[in-house]
Amino acid sequence: MPNELIALAKKHRIMLKFWDFEPPVEAIYFYYPGKNPVIGLDPRITADIKHFRCVLAEELGHFFTTRQECNFIHYHCRNRIGIYREEYHAMVWAVNYLIPDRELEKAYKLMPPQKLKDFFRVDPEFMAFKLRLSKDKLLSSLNPSSPHPSV
């Protein structure tokens, strides 16, 4: 179990519930004003700890990146095609939480890129998303003498 994420949810009074969802839905974030937020998780995702960590982090990302003034629901579906603005912000929060920039920079210098997902215990798609976000920043930090900023 991703204990650090569960502790974070508990600290912020976010209820975690396990429900059987119909695929492709794997998780849900629900908030209603005046009530504690709820993250519903499909128990089948706990079989893959890396994926479970990614899904839970993304659902927690909704709590930290979405205004809490109105009720809303976000579903997590594996292999989503489009990412809406709220989903994008939740994913950015999640990858930055599970893969901090400083840790990524250190790890990138020590191991080949294909090992990063195992080192950070995340899905390959999750790692790829973080690398896309960090590409310009990471490249400039690895090559500070470059005369041209990355575009």
Residue-wise pLDDT for 23-52, tens only, equals 889 999 998 888 999 999 999 999 999 999
Q: pLDDT tier at 10 (50, 70, 90 boundaries)?
A: very high
Tell me if residue 16 falls in helix, strand or coil.
strand
CATH match for 1-82 among 3.30.1120, 1.20.58, 3.40.1620, 3.30.2010: 3.30.2010
Looking at the predicted structure, is the pLDDT value of residue 151 above 50? no
pLDDT in tens, 98-123: 999 999 989 989 999 899 999 999 99
Q: What is the dihedral of CA 86, 77, 20, 121, to 10 degrees?
A: -90
**Which tops the pLDDT comparison, 82 or 25?**
25
pTM of the model: 0.82
Q: Is the peptide bond before 24 cis (omega within 30 degrees of 0)?
A: yes
Q: pLDDT tier at 150 (50, 70, 90 boundaries)?
A: very low
Looking at the predicted structure, is the pLDDT value of residue 136 above 80? no
Rounded to 5, what percent of the chain is helix, strand, coil?
Answer: 55, 15, 30
| Run of H or E including 22 | none
Q: Mean pLDDT score of the chain, rounded to an integer?
A: 86
Looking at the predicted structure, is the pLDDT value of residue 134 above 60? yes
| pLDDT > 90 in the chain, percent | 62
Give the Cα separation of 25 and 135 in Å (integer).
30
- Domain-wise residue ranges, the chain: 1-82, 99-143
